[in-house]
Homo-oligomer: A and B are copies of this chain.
Amino acid sequence: MTNGTTKTRVGFIGLGIMGRSMAGHLNTAGHALHVFNRTQARAEPLVAAGAVWHDTPGAVAAAADVVITMVGYPHDVEAIYLGAGGIVERAPHGAVLVDMTTSSPELARRIAEAAAAKGVAALDAPVSGGEGGARDARLSIMVGGDAAAFERVLPLLRLMGSNVVRQGGPGAGQHTKMCNQIVIASTMLGVCEGLAYARRSGLDPETVLQSIGGGAASSFLLNNLGPRILKGDFAPGFFVEHFIKDMGIAATEAARMGMDLPGLRLTKDLYEELAAQGHRRDGTQVLFKHYER
């Protein structure tokens, strides 16, 4: 029912910067879109393009065979899935639910259990690639949950992402996203410390990038955010406040598993300081400013 040619009734809940691009790809492909967003005005372009508005997430779920969610925080995910009149309660038997929010692995498992008890499959499928990846359908999508349900929605996920990988059972998508964010945390620390040292020692940091940007120090962050940092461009690709949310989930899960991740802990502390100083809505590269004080 979800291959490239047949059309699916797809519910899409959460039409922020990421969600509206992702939903747009599904709509363009001809799927019947049913939508809800906390701020209704943001749904207008999609509704004008044929999507059907519903007044609650539960109502979207009742009208769809596949329900995709892309909301803010784990507490939002919990409310729309597990709350009274929510997605799990109202989804039709046989539906597939796909939470693409970066959220907690533990919550993903609880949702999958609650859904299974109703004959519904729930996948966790967080993404990386940011606003550009969502716009250009080049997201990396990391999926946890039932293999058959994954196969059913794979054609839909491929309309939004260029790298769609099932990582394991319920929660495995969220765990994989946590790995991604843990690697990014300390990598960002290294990039900012290296560039701050370059500037403080009187070097020309752009020239330094010519020497170090192609070798063992090279990374996506060094080569993409490094030049922006040096131009003083701290506009968000990815918000500090969202990164803090993600690192908080990772830290909680790590603690639950008895792991100490001092690099993650340090980076999270530094970002929390920056957030307290008014940098919540800056891009994550603003960590550089910690070293310029």
Contact = CB atoms under 8 A, between A and B. Distances in A.
A25 to B, nearest CB: 18
Given A186-B193, A220-B218, A266-B263, A179 B203 contact: yes
B212 A180 contact: yes
> Taking chain A's interface residues, is the majority helix, strand, or loop, or is none over half, making it mixed?
helix
Contacts of A193: 182-183, 185-186, 261, 263-264
Interface residues of A, number: 68
Contacts of A208: 167, 176, 179
B262 A266 contact: yes
A117 interface: no
B180 A211 contact: yes
A134 interface: no
A253 B202 CA distance: 12
Interface in A221-238: 221-222, 224, 238
Interface string A238-265: 1000000000001001100101011110
A105 interface: yes
A32 interface: no
A207 B165 contact: yes
Nearest to A172: B203
Nearest to A126: B211
Interface of A: 105, 128-130, 133, 140, 142, 163, 165, 167-168, 172, 175-176, 178-191, 193-198, 200-204, 207-208, 210-212, 214-222, 224, 238, 250, 253-254, 257, 259, 261-264, 266-267, 270, 291
Q: Please give me the 8 A-B residue pairs with the lowest Cβ-Cβ distance, nearest first.
A: A186-B190, A219-B219, A183-B194, A189-B263, A183-B217, A186-B189, A187-B190, A182-B194
20 contacts: A140-B212, A163-B215, A165-B207, A165-B211, A167-B203, A167-B208, A176-B203, A179-B195, A180-B216, A182-B197, A183-B194, A189-B189, A189-B262, A190-B190, A193-B261, A200-B259, A215-B220, A216-B224, A219-B221, A263-B267
